Amino acid sequence: SSVQLPRSRLPTGLVPTSASQGSAIGGLGTPGGSSFSSFHFDHPLNEPRRLHFLTTVRHAFAGDTSLMDRLRHTAAGSSHPEAHHVSDSDKDRRGKKSRKPSGTRFAQQRLPSYTFVLTWRGVLFAAVTTGTVLLVLGAVVFAASTAVASFGLQYDGTPDERSHNHFREERFYHNCTAPSGGLTRSCSLHLTVPRDMKPPIYLIYYVDPFYQNYNSYMQSVIYGELRGDHMDESLRRASCSKISTRFTPAGDHIYPCGLLATTVFNDTFEIEGIPIDVEDPTATMKKDYDRFADPAGWRSWSRMSWLYERYPTLTTPDIGVKSRRFISWVLPEFFGHVSNYYGVVYTPLRRGQRLAMRINASFPVTSLGARKKVFLTTQGMLGGRNYALALLLMVSGGVCFVMAILITAIHWMCPRQPGRQRFPHGNDRGETSDEEETVASSSDSSGGSSSDSV
């Protein structure tokens, strides 16, 4: 409630205004004939609060409590004297004078609600069901991985014995380190096929670690050039900041420019008597393949260093940037290694068959401390081998069954009536208090039955 002070106690410039004046200033008036309430003043026994006249002019609604008065009357259940008044803005917004609230089920909070009660039986059933599903999925993934025939060869870097997807008889090692300076080292070796392999058999190369996901490496490319568009030198300078990725030592323009296009994996593999299709359509997605193209009229350009000139074993003048091995490389890997298709073999391989393989190593990784591997593998219903996923699913299923055993043991050793606290207030040993015994006895005498859930 407002406290009216004598006119002599009011500060200079704060004379109560009439309702019409209040409406002229702020657009809102109070029934008491003043648009300013006693909230302008401190306690009635003290001096009134000093307000600068500039504050009053700039903030015309300062001290206007008409909205608070309306809310107070609404909360008390009574109607405010101005409840019948509707402003012009309300008329324009609603199109009518009705203040009736929305009658939708959402506005009136009449939507159905559900409460899930966690009982020990429900949790036990959920744990057993989830564990069973995970174990079944793990067994399916393990069986699918076992059905895939695969073996691999490491030919560069420190021997790696941590292969999780190949058994010992499926791992081979032969040192064929690539020299630096753009030179090539050729190595011949023999491999024994550990299992029967039906075509198609995929030849996959693997470089680990190799971080194509570094931002500086991923951004060092102009995808417009890979689509066949002509790019200005200013854009090439901004995207391919290193001069060595734009110009050769002889001063020719490198096309396409960038780290992605100048550090392509160019090792080659040959199997005696068995052809390898390096341009098989399954090596890349069709949408990715259709995006790449050489620029129109590129043969007439002078002082250019084209992709087939820098990597003659990767592509040809007719294929250009549409080489599937090149496309697989310039689409960067998400992880810290590179694993791409090299080609496809359509000749079946028999168990115990000896393969004469020739490796031409031109991609140096010694300075990176990386390893290079090549795999021959078939495909199953889930793709290649993935024993790690099978192990994860089985371990998760085992954890669910352990939880089910713990729940059963807790309920058997420490049973508790649903709805009753295990440790009541003031009794840490779990004994029933006098008050609870009184309530329980009264409920039993009245014929009430306890519920199975809360």
How many other CB atoms are found less than 10 A from the CB of residue 54?
Answer: 8
Quick one: pLDDT at residue 58? 47
Distance CA 154, CA 162 (A): 12
Length of the chain: 454
Instruction: Report the pLDDT value the prediction gives residue 129, as an integer from 0 to 100.
Output: 97
Contact present, 164 and 387 (Cβ < 8 Å):
yes
Calpha distance 260→292 (Å, rounded): 14
Give every residue of the chain whose pLDDT is below 70, as ranges.
1-97, 164, 418-419, 421-454
b or e along 150-166 (b: 16 or more beta carbons within 10 Å of the residue's beta carbon)?
bbbbbbbbeeeeeeebb
pLDDT of residue 68: 64
Tokens, residue 451: 């519920």
Alpha helices by DSSP H, listed for 255-386, are: 259-262, 286-291, 307-310, 324-330
Instruction: Cite the DSSP H helix spans in 66-221.
Output: 66-76, 88-94, 120-147, 215-218
**What is the reported pTM?**
0.64
Model pLDDT, residue 438: 53
Q: What is the DSSP letter of 253?
A: E
What CA–CA distance (Å, rounded) separates 24 from 8?
A: 25
DSSP 393-420: HHHHHHHHHHHHHHHHHHHHHS---TTS
Cα angle 26, 28, 33 (rounded to 5 degrees) comes to 105
